Amino acid sequence: MELEYNILAIEVTRRCNQRCEGFCMRGEAQNLDIDFKYIDKLLENDFKGVSKLVFTGGEPTLNPEVIAYTIDKIIEANLPFVTIDMVTNGLVYSQKIVDAFERFCKYVKNSDILGDFSEFGCFVRESLLKGDLSFANISFSNDSHHKGISSDVINSYYDNCKDTRLSMMGEPTLVLRSGFSNYGLSMKNSIDNKIVGDLVVNGILLTTKGNVCLHGAAGSYDFIDSHSVGNSILHKSLNEYCLDVLPREKEKVKIR
C-alpha cells in the first residue's frame, strides 16, 4: 500500500556549532552524520506523496553533501515530494544547499506532481488553496537563545536564493522539556503518530543511525533513540513501520 506523508524529516547530522545551554531540546551534540545508504533505502519506498521533507539536526548546514544528495535523488527518480524545509542557526552559509534548494523549486514547478493537489496532505492542500505555497523554505533561529546571526551570512542567502523562501523563526512559542531544555512541555505529551486513510498525519523522522522514529523530530537524542531503536530503515519499508502504529484507528477512519 502506498502512503502519503504530511511531514517526513531526515536528521542529517548530530553535530552542532553552538551549544544553546538551557534551551536545546536535543542535548549534547554527537559526532554523527547520516550514511548515504540510509537515504538510498528511504527513497526506495513507495510514496504516494510527501508534503514536506525537513532536513534537521544538529545543525543541518554542517552536512550539505547529504542534503544535496537527497534532493538530487528525489529529482532523478521523479518522486512526489512537494516542499522541503530547513531551520538553521545561521552561522554557516552553504552555496551547495542553496543550489540544491533552488534545483528542487524548479523540479516541482516543472513537474506534474501538483497536477491533482487533492492528493496531497493537509499542509500542502491548505497552502495551495491559499495560493501561498513555497516549494523550498529556509528559516533562521534568531531567538534570544541562539548566537546572533551575522549579516554576511544572511545577505549571502538573500543574494543567492531566488525561489527559496527565507524567514526568521522569532521567539519559540512551543518549547519542549528535553535535552538541555529545562522548561516548556514535558516530552510525555509527545504526539503519537496518526494515520487517516492513507495519510500519515504527523511527522516521521529518519535518524542519523538509520532508524525510523514514529514520534517525529521533537525531543532529545536520547528520546529519539529510545523511540526508534530496532526500527532500521534497512530492514523494513517505511510504510510497514507506519502501518504498525494505531492499526485499529486506521480501520475506523474513512479513506478520503
Footprint of ligand SF4 (CB under 6 A) = 16, 18-20, 24, 26, 57-59, 89, 146
Helix residue ranges, H only, 175-233: 221-226
To ligand SF4, the closest distance from the beta carbon of 19 in angstroms equals 5
C-beta closer to ligand SF4: residue 14 or 41: 14
Radius of gyration of the chain (CA): 18
Q: In the complex with ligand SF4, which residue's Cβ is closer, 24 or 242?
A: 24
Q: Considering beta carbons, is residue 18 or 142 the nearer one to ligand SF4?
A: 18
146: which DSSP letter? S
Residue 127 or 220 having the CB closest to ligand SF4: 220
Of 16, 56, 54, give the one whose Cα is nearest residue 146.
16
Shortest approach of ligand SF4 to residue 42 CB, angstroms? 22
H or E element that contains 70: helix 64-76
Give least dist CB 190 to ligand SF4, A. Answer: 18
Residue 62 or 105 with smaller CB distance to ligand SF4: 62
Cα gap 216→204, rounded to integer Å: 4
Bond before 179 cis per omega within 30 degrees: no
CB of 61 to ligand SF4, least distance (A): 10
> Which three cell numbers, joined as nine digits, stand for 94?
552553504
Work out how close the CB of 184 gets to ligand SF4 at its nearest, in angstroms, rounded to a whole number.
13
Q: 12 burial class (0-12, 13-18, 19+ CB within 10 angstroms)?
A: buried
